[in-house]
Amino acid sequence: MRLVKALFVAILGLVVLLGAAIFLVPTERLANLAADQFETATGRQLNIGGEVGLSVFPVLGARAQDISIGNPDWAGEGELLRAAEMDIGVDLMSLFSGRVAVERVVLQSPVVTLRRAADGRATFDFAQPGAAAAAPQSAPSGGAMRELSLAEARIVDGTLRFVDETSDMVLDLAGLNASLSMPDMNGPLSLDADALLNRQPVTISLRAGNAATLLAGGLTALALEAEIAGAEASFEGRAALTDLVLEGRAQGALPALAPVLAALGQSGSEVPAQYRPIRFDGQVTRTASGQLFLREVAANAGDLAVTGAADVTLGGARPVVNAQLSIPVLNARGTGGGVDSGGAAASGWSREPIDASAVGLIDGEIALSIGEIRSDSGTFGPIRLRTEIENARAVTQIREARLFGGDVSGQFILNNRNGLSMRAVLDAAGISLMQLLRDTADFERLNGTAQASIDVLGSGNSLHAIMNSLQGQGSMTFSQGEILGLDLAGMLRNLDLGYVGEGTSTIYNSITGSFTMAGGVLSNDDLKLDSQRVQVDGRGQVGVGAQTLDYRIVPSALRDAEGNALRVPLIVTGPWSAPRFRLDMEALARERLEEERERLEALAREEAQRLEERARAEAEARIESELGVQREEGESLEDTVRRGVEGRITEELGRGLRGLLGGN
């Protein structure tokens, strides 16, 4: 009992002695002592320019005005922090022992300026020069950083400016309220803050496993939750402030993009409603060299789900991305097509400017696999694509594509280096013409199966400009189908335009042809249609840009029930949505006149031949009579005449000689 009583008296006396010492120590001296200890612990200068008031309860400390904390020497002029007032409470016993045990720090209306230099050094890195040699995975083995503890630090109505010279990013926060706690330098650190970033709300909650390791730039356990303008993000794993090294799992949700861009001082278009909200979940690793590795990625944009992995390399002119992505189902229903639902001719191609700037944001290679595409016209897939992007030029190789009932292969090139241009080099087989033309051009008058090869190029800043600039070439073969709304055989057989319209059609076995394109106009002069009763040639132009038709169909063989041949050209003109068909009666009249002329010429030739043969027969009979010879079988008329003349001459010579010789 005596021992306990003696200890109690000794402790009570010590408290009285320390209390008296505090009142005897001037406040300026106490403030200077705190400033010296702060500089020893952090390597930064703490200046107290205003009055200092002593605080005794509930902790021992001081309230000072005009407070500033300096930057490291390499940062030049300027301050890390300036506050109108700071209230600090310390453990007096720890000061006497050489430790800094801060119980409370309250900064009123501070202005904080944080800077990351282009070489990666940061003004908010409090690691001592000697700590650089320590392993980043563990706390420094010694040094004053281990002697600093902070029970609570609060910022009230502060302003923060962050300048990152490595990415040219500048952020300004207003109305900052924050709370920081690290009771033991070798223990956990917690930070909670909220502010307004460009008038958009921002909240941050951070938990670190080891304060000394984190502040020294080492790798330590870290959990972070942040919200900006309604967007949420979280990270749990390990991290190092120096070089922003990360290793852990990240999650995020983005209800809308525009408010986030506004908070970051940027502007841009909003994500379409059907692709909101955007969610992300995956394993993230970022190395000190700036490489970012994403694994086990699962992202959602509305109902669109994407899984895969990606490697991102930063630090160059553009981030280099190498990714493998998979989309099980892509729902494109209700998104519309290239022409308005009211008809192609009514509105034409869209004149809205195309923003292709995204193709210049990254370089790299992206492999995309789509299991199924659901559109208003049907279900397509599977589709496998591989895209290489370099300096705003993307080349997409189509490795597999099941579209419109057939298969498509080839490549598509998008170039935005000096204005937007597009090129398609494609081969297609087994394509449903009805489905293709209905979905791409709102044209539903041709059915069948298509094989095609095309190479076309277009340029411009809108779909209208691109379609009106198309140039290139190609060939096509359509097999086993029909032309809807046109009974070509009935029309030509009866010369009746009533064979055009709903319920009529022309069944064909094949259609073949090739084409060239220039200025958005497709030209063709070798179209051939083969059917059971119609053999047709065609030539003309299709205005792909203007969505018009100017085509001439010429039957090469058409027979009615009696087997009479007809040739009646058919002209197709007008817009795609409402083409007009008419028989070329002028050409028909010219053809009939030509047929009559040929008939009369044939009759004339026959009559001339008959007269010639009659005259020849009469001449032969007279020659035979006068020459007294008979034409032998197979003998030419010339030989018969020669034989008759020779016989007459011989007879006359013989008679003359007998008269001369007296008949002897």
pLDDT surpassing 80 at residue 517? yes
Other beta carbons less than 10 A from residue 648's beta carbon: 14
- CA distances to 138, 368, 373, 393, 405 from 397, in Å: 48, 10, 18, 13, 20
The answer to whether the CB of 476 falls within 8 A of the CB of 470 is: no
- CA distances to 353, 493, 562, 594 from 599, in Å: 62, 22, 20, 9
- The average pLDDT across 129-148 equals 44
Nearest partner of 355 among 264, 418, 416, 413, judged by Cα: 416
pLDDT of residue 12: 36
What pairs with residue 364 in β-bridges? 321, 389
**Which of 164-168, 323-327, 427-431 is predicted least confidently?**
164-168
The angle that helices 637-660 and 585-627 make with each other, rounded to 10 degrees, is 20
pLDDT surpassing 80 at residue 448? yes
Alpha helix stretches (DSSP H) within 526-636? 585-627
CA 621 to chain CA centroid, Å, is 94
Other beta carbons less than 10 A from residue 625's beta carbon: 9
Structure tokens given for 518: 């220039």
Q: How confident is the model at residue 407 (pLDDT cuts 50, 70, 90)?
A: very high
Instruction: Tell me how long the chain is.
Output: 664
State the Cα–Cα distance between residues 543 and 551, nearest whole angstrom: 10
Higher-scoring residue by pLDDT: 648, 384: 384
State the Cα–Cα distance between residues 93 and 518, nearest whole angstrom: 89
Q: How confident is the model at residue 624 (pLDDT cuts 50, 70, 90)?
A: low
The answer to whether the CB of 244 falls within 8 A of the CB of 287 is: no
Q: How confident is the model at residue 47 (pLDDT cuts 50, 70, 90)?
A: confident
User: Strands 363-375 and 320-331: what pairing?
Assistant: parallel
Q: How confident is the model at residue 627 (pLDDT cuts 50, 70, 90)?
A: low
Q: How confident is the model at residue 377 (pLDDT cuts 50, 70, 90)?
A: low
- The average pLDDT across 104-123 equals 82
- The average pLDDT across 133-138 equals 40
pLDDT surpassing 80 at residue 399? yes
Structure tokens given for 612: 């010639």
pLDDT of residue 235: 95
Q: Where are the domains of the chain?
A: 25-126+145-185, 593-660
- Report the sign of the C-alpha dihedral through residues 605, 607, 611, 614, in that order: positive
Helix H or strand E segment including 9: helix 2-24
pLDDT surpassing 60 at residue 32? yes
Average pLDDT score, the chain: 78
Alpha helix stretches (DSSP H) within 482-584? 488-494
pLDDT surpassing 50 at residue 20? no
Nearest partner of 395 among 380, 410, 407, 406, judged by Cα: 410
- The SS3 call for residue 68 is strand
Q: Which residues of 21-45 are buried (b: 16+ CB within 10 A; e: fewer)?
A: eeeeeebeebbebbbebbebbbbbe
| N-to-C CA span, the chain | 204
Type of residue at 242: T
User: Strands 100-108 and 148-164: what pairing?
Assistant: parallel
State the Cα–Cα distance between residues 298 and 20, nearest whole angstrom: 65
pLDDT of residue 579: 85
State the Cα–Cα distance between residues 131 and 137, nearest whole angstrom: 12
pLDDT of residue 276: 87
Q: How confident is the model at residue 405 (pLDDT cuts 50, 70, 90)?
A: confident
Q: How confident is the model at residue 654 (pLDDT cuts 50, 70, 90)?
A: low
CA 289 to chain CA centroid, Å, is 28
% pLDDT > 70, the chain: 71
State the Cα–Cα distance between residues 533 and 489, nearest whole angstrom: 7
pLDDT surpassing 50 at residue 15? no
- The average pLDDT across 479-490 equals 76
Question: Which long-range CB contacts under 8 A does 490-496 form with residues at least 24 apart?
Answer: 491/568, 491/570, 491/581, 491/583, 492/534, 492/555, 492/558, 492/566, 492/568, 492/570, 492/583, 493/558, 493/560, 493/566, 495/568, 495/583, 495/588
Q: How confident is the model at residue 21 (pLDDT cuts 50, 70, 90)?
A: very low
pLDDT surpassing 90 at residue 234? yes
Nearest partner of 353 among 269, 460, 270, 257, judged by Cα: 460
State the Cα–Cα distance between residues 490 and 496, nearest whole angstrom: 8
- This prediction's pTM: 0.64
Q: Which residues of 605-624 are buried (b: 16+ CB within 10 A; e: fewer)?
A: eeeeeeeeeeeeeeeeeebb
pLDDT surpassing 90 at residue 424? yes
State the Cα–Cα distance between residues 616 and 622, nearest whole angstrom: 10
pLDDT surpassing 60 at residue 260? yes
Chain segment 300-320, per-residue pLDDT in tens: 998 889 999 999 998 788 899
pLDDT surpassing 90 at residue 181? no
State the Cα–Cα distance between residues 136 and 131, nearest whole angstrom: 9
Other beta carbons less than 10 A from residue 123's beta carbon: 23
What pairs with residue 182 in β-bridges? 150
The answer to whether the CB of 161 falls within 8 A of the CB of 114 is: yes
Q: How confident is the model at residue 371 (pLDDT cuts 50, 70, 90)?
A: very high
State the Cα–Cα distance between residues 257 and 263, nearest whole angstrom: 10
pLDDT of residue 285: 95
Nearest partner of 580 among 558, 555, 551, 556, judged by Cα: 551
pLDDT surpassing 90 at residue 394? yes
Other beta carbons less than 10 A from residue 128's beta carbon: 17
State the Cα–Cα distance between residues 93 and 95, nearest whole angstrom: 5
What pairs with residue 478 in β-bridges? 450, 511
Nearest partner of 59 among 99, 94, 25, 11, judged by Cα: 94
pLDDT of residue 644: 66
What pairs with residue 505 in β-bridges? 484
Structure tokens given for 93: 């016993």
State the Cα–Cα distance between residues 376 and 359, nearest whole angstrom: 28
**Which of 47-51, 195-199, 522-526, 574-578 is predicted least confidently?**
47-51
Helix H or strand E segment including 206: strand 200-208
State the Cα–Cα distance between residues 222 and 206, nearest whole angstrom: 7
